[in-house]
Amino acid sequence: MPEKHASKRNYTVKKEFRAFYEAVKSRPVRKDHRPYYIKQLHTRAQSLYVNHFLRPQFECLGRHFNFIQPWYVEVFGGPVRLGEHVCVMAAADNRVRFSVWSNEKDIAGITVGDACLVSPGARISAAKSITIGNSCMLASGVYITDSDWHDIYNRVTLGPARPVVLKDNVWVGDNAMIGKGVTIGENTIVGARAVVMNDLPANVIAAGNPARVVRELNPDEQPFFTRGQWFEDAESLHRGLQAIDQGMLQGNTLLGWLRHAWFPRRGE
C-alpha cells in the first residue's frame, strides 16, 4: 500500500474513533447504573468463563476476544477456529452455535478470521468447510451451512457438502441464510432475510430469495473502513473505550445499582 494511502487510512481510523467517542458521550441512552468496578468484574467473569469452558472446545481462539454473555455460546464438534479481536454476542433467547458434524475425517471445519463480529442467534454449521474472512460481520439470526444435512431422496444419511467461503469484510444481514458451495466476494453486503445459494461477486449488495445483486459498490470512490482497521491500534482503542465507560458510569454507587435492579423507576 502506498505510504500516502496508508497515512490517509490511519487518519480515517483516528477520525472515526473520535466521532464514535463524542457520539457515545452525548447520546441520550438508558443509564447503566452499575459502578465502573462492577462492570469490570462482570467483564472479567466473562473472560474467565471463556477461558475455562469455551477455549478448550476451540482448536484455536485468538487474542483479545470479546464474548458477551458467553454462557449462551455453544460449540459442538470441531475443528472450530476463531481469530484475534473476534466479538461474539449471545443472549438467553438467541444462542450462538458453532457446530461441526461429519462422517469424514480430517475436515477443515469452521474458521472465523480476525476482527469478525458474530451477533446473537447466529448459527454456523459445517459438515466439511466454512471459512469466514477477516472483518466480517454476521447480524442476528444469520445461518451459514455447507450442507443440506439430508439428501432429497436419501433422508437417513448426511447429504453432500460443499465448502462455503466468505471473503474479507463481508456483511451478512439479519436472518439471512448462506447455503452450501457459496463463495461471497470481499466487501459484499447480504441483505436481511436473503437466501444465498449461488456465488456473489465482490463489492455488491445482494438481497432477496434467491439473492440477486441489487447494487454495485465502488471502493475507489469511497474506501471501506473495516473492523480490522478499527483494531489496528488496539491499545489506544482499549484506553478510549475504558475512558468512555468511566465517564458514563461516573458517580454510580453499589446501593444505587441495587436499588435500580430491585425497584426500577420509569424512565431509568
In SS3 terms, the chain reads as CCHHHHHHHHHHHHHHHHHHHHHHHHCCCCCCCCCHHHHHHHHHHHHHHHHHHHHHHCCEECCCCEEECHHHEEEECCCEEECCCCEEECECCECEEEEECCCCCCCCEEEECCCCEECCCCEEEECCEEEECCCCEECCCCEEECECCCCCCCCCCCCCECCEEECCCCEECCCCEECCCCEECCCCEECCCCEECCCECCCEEEECCCCEEEEECCCCCCCCCCHHHHCCCHHHHHHHHHHHHHHHHCCCCHHHHHHHHHCCCCCC
Q: Residue 72 — pLDDT band, cuts 50, 70, 90?
A: very high
Report the pLDDT value the prediction gives residue 201, as an integer from 0 to 100: 98
Q: For the chain, list the domains and their CATH numbers.
A: 59-219 (2.160.10.10)
Q: Is residue 85 annotated as a catalytic residue, yes or no?
A: no
Residue 8 has pLDDT above 70, yes or no: no
Q: What is the mean pLDDT of the chain?
A: 90
Report the pLDDT value the prediction gives residue 19, as an integer from 0 to 100: 64
222-237 pLDDT, tens digit per residue, is: 999 999 998 988 888 8
**Mean pLDDT score, 57-68:** 96
115-138 pLDDT, tens digit per residue, is: 999 999 999 999 999 999 999 999
Report the pLDDT value the prediction gives residue 104, as an integer from 0 to 100: 82
pTM of the model: 0.87
d(C-alpha 208, C-alpha 93), whole Å? 26
Say which of 5, 42, 150, 238 is annotated catalytic.
150
**Mean pLDDT score, 185-204:** 98
**Mean pLDDT score, 34-50:** 94
Q: Residue 22 — pLDDT band, cuts 50, 70, 90?
A: low
Q: What percent of the chain has pLDDT over 90?
A: 70
Among the listed residues 32, 235, 227, 195, the one whose alpha carbon sits nearest the alpha carbon of residue 117: 227
Q: Residue 16 — pLDDT band, cuts 50, 70, 90?
A: low
